[in-house]
Structures are given as structure tokens and as C-alpha cells.
């Protein structure tokens, strides 16, 4: 029997979490190391923007094959997310992250060695699987360790790391552009992948996952590494109360009345995050700037780098404010700004002659505003929200299915962007993305809950009680 909790007693879960004492140095260390998975994600997603310019010439790719090279990674993301959701609930959060890091390393070594486009596609597929593993597991791992009063900021570090990864990819791309060294661009990803695996080795398992596996003594041991005995008792009591709700720990439980609203919130929000156009801009940044009149490949890559740096800096706004002003106010401000910048971008493409010699400058400013607004709203809050709304028993699987939906939407956007621009024009393409931004604001208003400062166990309980 636990020294902190009698397994026979049931303690109600409070709507607002108590301010438990935590050793913040431990939480920060775990969050930063888990966030390295975000750097890997960002680097893998960002490096293709610069590398594609030269891969296209090396392998003489058609427009359709360009889209395949870019989007095949998303098939891997969906596969990795689906597999990772079950694996993380079965073998634990830390072990799943280690597997993800190892696959990242393998893909980062195979991509630069590719003798043909088929091998490169396989390498990109492996990298996608690794992204799926880590994108499902890292935010969940941090959310299950973080205190409620700073959980948003700590999970947001994953998105912050992701933006750093994108900026690093664009910086490496700009640095190596004059040498056309796309192989080295891919190969540089092996460095953070190896560091990620090494730093993960000494970290503990999630205490919530341990408790759900009836490994209570180990859960207490982990809790006592960052909180006192009173804090450990409170946390264990909340977890125990949540586990009293009868629930299958299988995939079909996600469609049951106790979980389906959580799934709708998480999957719906992640789909909207993608169809508002973010990854079309990140993947095809140089091509967009080329369409706007920036003729030099290096200058187009540099403009993409400026957008990526803006992404990093603006994410800091979310880290500072998300636990102070809440999730929904940031979403209203951010998505509203995204809508306005996309409308202006569409106008600039439709009326390029009105801007004289400066359409490239207008496009750069519009995309920087768009990225700024995305970075302090939908970017980090998506990972925060998705890791908060599911019950403990199926949290890994729930995040996996939401990530699968995100990957599917991302796949559609990335696979169709160039074709859509060719068929409908740049202006209409960005108008479509602006329309999805308006739909996002409606979804946030009527569906998304405010989760600021609340214990994990109370969020999913309330969301699904409303659905019932």
C-alpha cells in the first residue's frame, strides 16, 4: 500500500489545481530535453524548403515528384503517430521517445547518402515515423510532469524548440545554398538526434503512466524528485480519482461517450491548424517568394530564414502569456492576425503591378505577420491543448489519433499546394487558407475549452460530461 494514498479512498478532483511545491530545476531539465524532440521535428520539416531547390535539379524532379518528396514524410508522421500512441501507453513515455530519437538518427544518416530519389523518399519516410513518435509522446510526457500553474509554458517549450529547429534548418540551408550541398543539409540533422538520445537516457518515466500501470512505488519515487510529500499525496490522489472512472484502455474507447468530445476538440483543432496554411508556407517558402518576384534562390531562402526567425521570437510571447491570459484570448488575437495577413497576401498576388518593384517585400512582410500571429497562438496552443484534454487511461492513443488527423490534413495541404497554385492561382490559394482561419475562430469560440491553471484530470472529465 502506498505511504501517500490509500487505494480504497476516492478523492474528488478539483476544477482548479492546488499550488503544489515543485523543484523547478528538475521540471525545466525534463521539459528542455523533451523539447529537443521539437528541434528534430522542426529541422526535419524545415530543411526540405532549402534542400528541395537543389534536390529538384539533382534528380530532375517534376512538380508532382517535388510534392511527393515533401509530403511523403507526412505518411511517416501518420504511421508513427498511430503506432506511437499505442506504444507510449504500453511501454511508457520515455522509452517511446528513445525509439523516436533512434529512428531520427537512422533517417538523418540515410537521407544524405541517397543515390536516387527513391532512397531519399525512404529516408524521409523514416524521419516522418520519428516525428510521429515524438510529436505524440513529448507533449504528453511534459504535461504529466508539469505543475498546472506552469503547464502551458512548459509544454509550449516543445513548439518553441520546433521553431528553433525550423530556423536552424533555414540557417543551414542559407549557409550551404551557394555550395548546393543539399546532402549536408539533411546530414546535419544527425547531430541533434544523437544529442536527444543521449540526454534522454537518465530521465525518469512519467509518474502518471507508472501509477496507471500499478507501479505506485516507482511513481512516488519520481514524484519525490521534484515535489514534497504533501505535493506527491495531492497528485496521486487526483490521479487515483481519475482512474476510478471505468474506461477501456483500447482504441475503441476513444469513440465512447467518456472520450469522444476530447477527441473532437483535439483532432478538430489540429486539422484546422494545418488547413490554415502554415506548412505550405514552411515547406514552400522559397517557391512562394519566387512567385512574388524574388528571383535568386539564395535570396528566397534568406527571406524564408527571416520568417523562421520571426517564428522563434514570436513563440516567446506565447510562453510568457499562455498561463497568464489563457489559451483562448491568445487564439482570438493570433488567428485574427493570420486572417488579415493572408487576405493582404492574396491581394498582393492579385495586384502585383500595384506594388511596382516591391511585391517580394510585401509578401515577406505579410508572411512575417502571419508567422508571428501563428507562433503566439495556434502553434504552441495546439500541442498544449491536445496533451491536456484526454483522460489518463487513453491519453497516448488520443494524442496519436489527433496527430494522425493533423498529419492527414498536413499531407493534403503539402501535396496539393503547388497544384492548387498552378490551377487556381496564388491569390485564390491564400484566400482559401484565410477562409479556414475564419472557421478556426468559430471553432475556438464554441468548442475549445479554457484550460489555464486546471489539473489534467478535471479537464477531460468536464469536456466529456458536457458532451454527454
The 10s digit of each residue's pLDDT in 280-314 is 877 677 677 776 666 666 777 777 778 778 888 99
pLDDT for 246: 52
Local structure of 169: helix, strand or coil = helix
Question: Which one has a higher pLDDT value, 14 or 268?
Answer: 268
Please state, in angstroms and rounded to a whole number, the distance separating the CA atoms of residues 264 and 184: 41
Question: Rounded CA gap, 448 and 300, in Å?
Answer: 37
**pLDDT confidence of 353, banded at 50, 70, 90?**
low
Residue for grid cell 537512422: 106
Answer whether 457's CB lies under 8 Å from 208's CB: no
Residue at grid coordinates 489555464: 452
Q: Which residues pair with 227 in a beta bridge?
A: 22
Q: Choose among 317, 298, 454, 312: nearest CA to 389.
A: 454
Q: What is the pLDDT of residues 358-375, one digit of tens each?
A: 666 788 788 889 989 999
CA–CA separation, 425 and 419 (whole Å): 9
Please give the Cα distance from 288 to 304 (Å, whole number): 9
Q: CB atoms < 10 A from the CB of 422, how many?
A: 11
Question: Using CA atoms, how far apart are residues 315 and 375, in angstroms rounded to an integer?
Answer: 5
Q: How large is the angle between the packed helices 359-375 and 378-388, nearest 10 degrees?
A: 30
Give the CB-side neighbour count of residue 420, counting CA atoms within 13 A.
18
CA–CA separation, 311 vs 73, rounded Å?
Answer: 22
Q: Where are the beta strands (DSSP E) in 379-429?
A: none
Q: If residue 393 lies in a helix (H) or strand (E), which one and from where to where?
A: none
The Cβ-side half-sphere exposure at 335, using a 13 Å CA radius, reads 29
pLDDT of residue 426: 85
Q: Cβ contacts of residue 64 below 8 Å, gap of 6+? A: 419
Q: How many CB atoms lie within 10 A of CB 18?
A: 14
Q: Cα dist. 420→63, 121, 423 in Å?
A: 12, 23, 5
pTM: 0.72
- CA–CA gap between residue 108 and residue 113 (Å, rounded): 9
The label of the residue with cell 520519428 reads 130
What is the predicted pLDDT for the residue at 197? 92
Q: What is the pLDDT of residue 328?
A: 95
Residues 139 and 172 sit within 8 Å (Cβ to Cβ): no
Which domains are present in the chain? Answer: 24-203+253-467 (1.20.1250.20), 209-238 (no CATH)
d(CA 267, CA 272) in angstroms, rounded, equals 9
DSSP characters for 266-294? HHHHHHHHHHTTHHHHHHSHHHHHHHTT-
Q: Give 3's pLDDT tier (boundaries 50, 70, 90).
A: very low
- Supply the pLDDT for residue 13: 36
Percent of the chain exceeding pLDDT 70 equals 85
Question: pLDDT per residue over 141-172, tens digit each?
Answer: 888 877 777 778 888 888 888 889 888 888 88
Confidence class of residue 127 from pLDDT cuts 50, 70 and 90?
A: very high
Q: How far apart are CA 159 and CA 143, in angstroms?
A: 13
pLDDT at 126: 95
- Asked whether residue 439 carries a pLDDT value surpassing 70, the answer given is yes
- For 41-55, what is each residue's pLDDT tens digit? 889 877 887 788 888
Give Rg (Cα) of the chain: 22
Amino acid at each position: 500500500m502506498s505511504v501517500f494514498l490509500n487505494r480504497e479512498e476516492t478523492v474528488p478532483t478539483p476544477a482548479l489545481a492546488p499550488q503544489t511545491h515543485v523543484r523547478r530545476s528538475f521540471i525545466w531539465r525534463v521539459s528542455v530535453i523533451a523539447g529537443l524532440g521539437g528541434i528534430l521535428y522542426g529541422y526535419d520539416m524545415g530543411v526540405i524548403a532549402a534542400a528541395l531547390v537543389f534536390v529538384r535539379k539533382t534528380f530532375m524532379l517534376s512538380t508532382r515528384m517535388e510534392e511527393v518528396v515533401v509530403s511523403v514524410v507526412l505518411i511517416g508522421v501518420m504511421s508513427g503517430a498511430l503506432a506511437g500512441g499505442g506504444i507510449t501507453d504500453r511501454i511508457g513515455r520515455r522509452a517511446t521517445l528513445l525509439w523516436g530519437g533512434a529512428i531520427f538518427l537512422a533517417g538523418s544518416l540515410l537521407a544524405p547518402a541517397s543515390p536516387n530519389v527513391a532512397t531519399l523518399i525512404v529516408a524521409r519516410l523514416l524521419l516522418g515515423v520519428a516525428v510521429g513518435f515524438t510529436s505524440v509522446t513529448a507533449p504528453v510526457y511534459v504535461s504529466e510532469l508539469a505543475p498546472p500553474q506552469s503547464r502551458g509554458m512548459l509544454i509550449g517549450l516543445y513548439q518553441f524548440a520546433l521553431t528553433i529547429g525550423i530556423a536552424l534548418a533555414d540557417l543551414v540551408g542559407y549557409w550551404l545554398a551557394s555550395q548546393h550541398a543539399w546532402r549536408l543539409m539533411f546530414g546535419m540533422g544527425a547531430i541533434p538526434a544523437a544529442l536527444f538520445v543521449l540526454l534522454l537516457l537518465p530521465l525518469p518515466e512519467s509518474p502518471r503512466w507508472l501509477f496507471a500501470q500499478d507501479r505506485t512505488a516507482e511513481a512516488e519515487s519520481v514524484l519525490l524528485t521534484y515535489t514534497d510529500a504533501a505535493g506527491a499525496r495531492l497528485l496521486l490522489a487526483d490521479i487515483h480519482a481519475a482512474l476510478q472512472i471505468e474506461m477501456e484502455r483500447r482504441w475503441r474507447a476513444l469513440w465512447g461517450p467518456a472520450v469522444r468530445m476530447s477527441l473532437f476538440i483535439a483532432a478538430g483543432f489540429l486539422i484546422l491548424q494545418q488547413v490554415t496554411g502554415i506548412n505550405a508556407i514552411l515547406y514552400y517558402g522559397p517557391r512562394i517568394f519566387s512567385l512574388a518576384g524574388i528571383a535568386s534562390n539564395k535570396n528566397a531562402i534568406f527571406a524564408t530564414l527571416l520568417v523562421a526567425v520571426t517564428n522563434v521570437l514570436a513563440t516567446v510571447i506565447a510562453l510568457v502569456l499562455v498561463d497568464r491570459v489563457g489559451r483562448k484570448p491568445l487564439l482570438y488575437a493570433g488567428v485574427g492576425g493570420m486572417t488579415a495577413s493572408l487576405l493582404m497576401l492574396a491581394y498582393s498576388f492579385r495586384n502585383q503591378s500595384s506594388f511596382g518593384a516591391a511585391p517580394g517585400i510585401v509578401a515577406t512582410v505579410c508572411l512575417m505577420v502571419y508567422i508571428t500571429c501563428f507562433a503566439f497562438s495556434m502553434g504552441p496552443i495546439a500541442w498544449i491543448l491536445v496533451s491536456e484534454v484526454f483522460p489518463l487511461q487513453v491519453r497516448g492513443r488520443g494524442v496519436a489519433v489527433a496527430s494522425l488527423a493533423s498529419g492527414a490534413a498536413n499531407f493534403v495541404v503539402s501535396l496539393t499546394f503547388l497544384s492548387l497554385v498552378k490551377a487556381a492561382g496564388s491569390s485564390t490559394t491564400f484566400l482559401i487558407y484565410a477562409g479556414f482561419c475564419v472557421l478556426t475562430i468559430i471553432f475556438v469560440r464554441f468548442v475549445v475549452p479554457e484550460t489555464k491553471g486546471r489539473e489534467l484530470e478535471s479537464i477531460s472529465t468536464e469536456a466529456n460530461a458536457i458532451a454527454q
